[in-house]
Amino acid sequence: MASELIIERKNVKITELTYDPELFPRLYPMDTAGVDWFTANRYASEMRAGANFPPIVVGIIDDESYPRHGEMIINDGVHRFRAYKKLGLKTIDVIIKHYDSELDFFRDAIEANVTHGRSISFTDKARLLDLLREYGLKDGEISKIILVPMDKIIDLEKRIIQTENGKKIYAKSQVEQALKAGQITEEEALVVKQQRIQTRTAKGLLKQLIDIVRGKLLIPSDEVKSLSNELILLLQQYFRVVS
């Protein structure tokens, strides 16, 4: 579990609360930074009817290297926060937790959201896998945090697409489906397929090269044409020598 130094319950001004989409487990829908307005509006309607909701959990990250350290950042309850704002509330009760680091905050936010509220999609879990790896966590630990069995981690991995310009896409489906859905371009799909080619032997490399050409996975750029011509000449020279 995250290392929480202090936990307290407090009534605070709603304007004091902030939200960091980078540390929110749900990124989609992209245009609203993970906030589902249908859910927020439903909560607001239920609140008006007298429904009681648990307090929002906010975190204060004490690590001074974090750009927003010391601020009250919503850890669990973004949709409740949006509902309260919609209803015009000025103050609300919150539970405040202090965290040593950004990772502690993020991990706690995932663990809080993965078991309740709007479900975390497989696309979002692919993003979480990628981000938690960047924080240095191993797949076995990540599996327990995001509640995805180890044998399914490979399926999430296939949704992490790095385009040629370095941009990362967390596809709603695997490469072929992402291409059909218009999430990535044909050129980006080819780049991803090429990135996944791995082999440890010369024979395996040649087999994969044949598969690349047969599958029309080469991007016909001038550089690729030049490299292909060089390879053809080298192979011809090589087999003249060894035959």
Between 212 and 152, residue with greater pLDDT: 152
- Write out pLDDT tens, residues 132-167: 999 999 999 999 999 999 999 988 888 887 766 677
The answer, yes or no, to whether the previous bond of 29 is cis (omega within 30 of 0) is yes
Domain span holding position 103? 1-118
Residue 8 lies in a domain: yes
Q: What is the pLDDT of residue 21?
A: 84
Q: How far apart are CA 87 and CA 14, in angstroms?
A: 12
Q: Name which residue leads in pLDDT, 120 or 217.
A: 120
Phi–psi pair at 4, nearest 5 degrees = -95, 125
Query: Over 70: is that where the pLDDT of 215 sits?
Result: no
Q: Domain boundary at 98, 118, 138, which? A: 118
Examine the domain organization and report whether 15 and 111 are in the same domain. yes
For 148, counting Cβ atoms within 10 Å of its Cβ (0-12 exposed, 13-18 middle, 19+ buried), the class is buried
Domain-ending residue, one of 118, 144, 166: 118
Instruction: Check whether 169 has a pLDDT greater than 50.
Output: yes
Report the distance separating Cα 147 and Cα 192, nearest Å. 26
Q: Once rounded to an integer, what is the mean pLDDT over residues 229-238?
A: 85
32 or 10: which carries more pLDDT confidence?
Answer: 10
Percent of the chain predicted with pLDDT > 90: 39
- At 10, which CATH number? 3.90.1530.10
Structural domain count, the chain: 2
Residue 114 lies in a domain: yes
Of the pLDDT bands very low, low, confident and very high (cuts 50, 70, 90), residue 200 is: very low
pLDDT band at 48 (very low <50, low <70, confident <90, very high): very high
Answer yes or no: do 113 and 202 share one domain: no
If asked whether residues 113 and 9 sit together in one domain, one would say: yes
- Rounded mean pLDDT of 84-98? 95
Which pLDDT does position 72 carry in this prediction?
95
- Does residue 106 belong to any structural domain of this protein? yes
User: 94 lies in a domain?
Assistant: yes
Residue 159 lies in a domain: no
Q: Which residue has the higher pLDDT, 65 or 222?
A: 65
Same domain, 203 and 113: no
- pLDDT-derived band at 227 (thresholds 50, 70, 90) equals confident
Residues 106 and 204 grouped into a single domain? no
Domain presence at residue 18: yes
